[in-house]
């Protein structure tokens, strides 16, 4: 839809504290005594803060709110990991330790074809967006350790930005054991370029899984956004 209509501009809205409170109460009424809520980075959304407020309001169930400091696939990986561990009888403390390892041992680099979505949605400063538009810059972006989207290099074209994303990925992962991944916003050509380039340099990887950006994140990044990342293995 965004590619078909350049005038269309999507926005997102987070669930209210009341909605979160209702969810906690629902799980309590179903017999849960512990609830773990893994949120998108607190630097990208107010969800974490709202979840904490709701956690203090609910009675009869203990709620732990975990700031993933990331978004998309890695947040999803944390949720599935927690679920699998819980089903095997792991304690909340053990689950939290595993989630902290994932959170503290990953890296995401990405490039967007058009900065206007990040700028208008407040995920990148207006000043950075203004200069990038004027100079036709396609910056290399990353999610830093605090969970914020930051620009780390200014690049002239989207293709060059993709090449630099791959270079940074290869530099960061040299000599490490890791799970690689690609996340994209409807960009099969970009996926092929990134996968082919990385596997040419690291054929031992065998494969690199790809995932679509979620609609909410896609609303901020826009069409053709490309992410390359990894999480270290223990």
pLDDT digits (tens, 9 = 90+) for 172-223: 999 999 999 999 999 999 999 999 999 999 999 999 999 999 888 888 888 9
User: Is the domain 17-104 a CATH 3.40.50.10170 member?
Assistant: yes
Q: What is the dihedral of CA 145, 142, 216, 113, to 10 degrees?
A: 170
Architecture of domain 106-232: 2-Layer Sandwich (3.30)
8-49: pLDDT as tens digits? 888 888 899 999 999 999 999 999 999 999 999 999 989 999
Given a cut of 70, whether residue 127 has pLDDT beyond it is no
Residue spans in the chain of domains classed CATH 3.30.1180.10:
106-232
Longest C-alpha distance within the chain, in Å?
57
Instruction: Write the CA distances from 5 to 10, 12, 122, 222, integer angstroms.
Output: 11, 18, 21, 12
pTM: 0.89
């Amino acid at each position: 839809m965004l590619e078909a209509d350049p005038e269309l501009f999507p926005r997102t809205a987070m669930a209210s504290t009341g909605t979160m409170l209702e969810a906690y109460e629902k799980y309590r009424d179903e017999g849960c005594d512990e609830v773990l809520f893994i949120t998108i980075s607190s630097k990208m959304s107010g969800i974490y803060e709202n979840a904490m407020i709701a956690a203090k309001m609910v009675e009869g169930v203990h709620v732990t709110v975990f700031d993933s400091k990331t978004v998309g696939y890695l947040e999803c990986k944390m949720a599935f990991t927690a679920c699998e561990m819980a089903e095997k009888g792991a304690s909340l403390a053990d689950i939290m330790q595993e989630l902290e390892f994932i959170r503290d041992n990953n890296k995401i680099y990405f490039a967007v074809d058009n900065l206007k979505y990040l700028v208008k949605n407040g995920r990148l400063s207006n000043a950075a967006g203004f200069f990038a538009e004027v100079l036709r810059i396609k910056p290399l972006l990353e999610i830093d350790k605090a969970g914020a989207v930051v620009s780390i290099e200014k690049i002239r074209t989207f293709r060059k930005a993709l090449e630099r994303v791959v270079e940074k990925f290869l530099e960061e992962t040299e000599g490490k054991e890791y799970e690689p991944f690609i996340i994209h916003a409807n960009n099969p050509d970009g996926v092929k370029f990134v996968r082919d380039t990385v596997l040419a340099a690291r054929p031992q990887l065998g494969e690199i899984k790809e995932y679509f950006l979620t609609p909410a994140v896609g609303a901020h990044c826009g069409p053709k956004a490309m992410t390359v990342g990894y999480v270290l293995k223990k």
